[in-house]
Structure 1
Amino acid sequence: MEVPSRPTGVPVLLWALAAQLVLCGSGLCASDHTKSCKLLFESESERRVLRRLEPITRKNFTVETKNGSESYTYVFQLCGDAGGVQQAGLIQMSSTPKKTTVIGMYNATQAIGGSDWVILIYRNGERYDAHCSQEQRRAIVMISCNTKMDVGQLNVVVEDRDRQQDCFYLFELDTSAVCPHVEYQLSTGSIILIIGFCVLAVYLIGGFLYQRLVVGAKGMEQFPNYAFWVEVGNLTADGCDFVCRSRNREEPPTYRGVVTEPLEEEPEERDDHLLPM
């Protein structure tokens, strides 16, 4: 009695891979890294705004600024650990002394979106030492549409800490991810022109082949309905001549060297005196 052999894992793997490809093709396995961002107030509208930023997730954006002898490096990441700091969406690193300050956390996110821009707010950063009533830091990233680049350079706009409360760090970032999707549609006139050109092409090519292969025409006679189009051309030329020429058509034709004025009547010569009487 033969013992049935155990099925190998290769076919099962192939079937699993095929199923995954089918799911990905239908969009069911699309990853959404923006889910890592925790909204302060969960809402579907803010989730939709975050999903628009999916192409720039899991990327560190770095910018360095100098203020006198002080130098700062800012690192921003969308819904990810900026600079490897856990739960930090935007951090500040100073050179002297070496210190890393968390400006905003992505587990306290707000997202406001327009037609071609998104404002991303990270809250719950580290507290100020002596400014802004020692409140927690906050980062605001203004993400604007730029169709000429996938993603641009992070820029520092301002750190507003000369107030009692609601201080913030403001940054700018350009990307095509927030640009509105433009659907190009053909107008009615364009469709009519395309149909007209297609019909004309079929007429010319089909007529040429028929005249050459079936009728056996040669030269210009291969052009479909050649006699008709020649007559149309002649009639068009006559019409253009009739409309555009300024010559008076009722004038009698004149010829060089011939006077058109009527000749004077010469007196009639009588030859009665030549007859025999």
Structure 2
Amino acid sequence: MKVSMFPPPTVTSVRLLVLAVQLVLLVCGSQASDDTKRCKLFSESPAERKVLSLLEPLTNKTFSEVKTSGKDSYTYQFQVCGDAGKTVGAGLVQIEHNEEKSETVLGLYTATRAIGGSDWVMLIYSNGTKYDTHCSKEMRKAIVMISCNRGVEMGKLEVVLEERERETDCFYLFELDSSAVCPALPSQLSAGSIILIIGFVLLSVYLICGFLYQRLIVGAKGLQQFPNYVFWTQVGNLAADGCNFVCRTQGPEEEPPTYRGVSTEPEEQPEERDDHLLPM
């Protein structure tokens, strides 16, 4: 019984499935919003924009921290490229715990700088509310140090210090841990291992799909259920023929002609008989 080769419709269906997956990924990618683009950089730079893109998982989330200093108590709220308080454009605010719940803008995400390292990102918001008496009445500035921590997706905001005992360039410093800024882990598999895994997966798909096709569609039984059974039974002979063709380049060896040995002594000539010439 001759069994057909692996059917072309199966290959076509696999290609259509791959194409469908690619289209789904393309549609999902086009619908994904880049919220970090709401941050306006002081000077537009591809390098800083790339650093900001690392913080995409942290967008649309408000980080809060309560800080008490003597009789004063404040709540600090922070968002990545989003409104942290009531003020539009305020990325980090300080809310005083009083009756008015007065809000002080520490920095605007419309005046942003982003500096990145191997496992950290420094996000700087400027153009906040002006100081009343400190720091030459300049605008407030907030610095958020986001450090790599693979065990924390979105950590807790921590207030480190407020530096206002100088004439200029005062700032608020905050810390935040997140796995979003962690570098990608190098692959533990070698190129050879990856090739072997891919080969094993393809072989498994070939055997399973071929077996199901032969059994359910063709109706084969026994060893005939093995995909391309006739071809694989001839692989050994084909390999031997190929090896014979490649390795044995000369034709069949001919037997050397045989020669009669040459004797040093003259051979005796047979005695001629002339009896038939005598008259009867």
Query: TM range, normalised to the smaller chain?
Result: 0.5 to 0.7
Q: CA deviation at 1:162?
A: 0.2
Q: Structure 1 residue 132 and structure 2 residue 135: aligned?
A: yes
Query: In structure 2, what is the equivalent of residue 121 of structure 1?
Result: 124
CA contact (8 A) 1:60 1:83 kept: no
Distance 2:118 2:22 in 1: 37
Matched residue pairs, number? Answer: 176
Letter matched to residue 55 of structure 1: P
Q: CA deviation at 1:29?
A: 3.0
Residue in structure 2 matching 1:105, options 108, 125, 135: 108
Letter matched to residue 92 of structure 1: Q
Distance 1:21 1:100 in 2: 45
Q: CA deviation at 1:28?
A: 3.1
Query: In structure 1, what is the equivalent of residue 87 of structure 2?
Result: 85
Query: In structure 2, what is the equivalent of residue 54 of structure 1?
Result: 56
User: Taking structure 2 as the reference length, what is the TM-score of the superposition?
Assistant: 0.59
Residue in structure 2 matching 1:30, options 22, 29, 32: 32
After superposition, residues 1-277 of structure 1 pair within 5 angstroms as: 21=24, 23-25=26-28, 27-96=29-98, 98-187=101-190, 191=193
CA contact (8 A) 1:79 1:89 kept: yes
Q: CA deviation at 1:85?
A: 2.4
Tell me, what secondary structure is at the counterpart of 1:141? strand
Letter matched to residue 60 of structure 1: T
Distance 1:47 1:89 in 2: 17
Q: CA deviation at 1:149?
A: 1.1
Tell me, what secondary structure is at the counterpart of 2:85? helix
Gaps of 5+ in 1: 1-17, 199-277
Q: CA deviation at 1:24?
A: 2.7
Tell me, what secondary structure is at the counterpart of 1:142? strand
Letter matched to residue 153 of structure 1: K
Letter matched to residue 165 of structure 2: D
Distance 1:138 1:149 in 2: 27
Tell me, what secondary structure is at the counterpart of 2:36? helix
Tell me, what secondary structure is at the counterpart of 2:93? strand
Letter matched to residue 138 of structure 1: K
Q: CA 1:21/1:84 → structure 2, altered by over 3 Å: closer, same or farther?
A: farther
Distance 1:136 1:159 in 2: 14
Letter matched to residue 78 of structure 2: F
Runs of 4+ with deviation above 6 angstroms:
none
Which structure carries more relative contact order (alpha carbon 8 Å, separation 6+)? 2
Distance 1:62 1:187 in 2: 44
User: Taking structure 1 as the reference length, what is the TM-score of the superposition?
Assistant: 0.59
Letter matched to residue 65 of structure 1: K
Q: CA RMSD of the aligned region, Å?
A: 2.5
Letter matched to residue 145 of structure 1: C
Q: CA deviation at 1:23?
A: 2.9
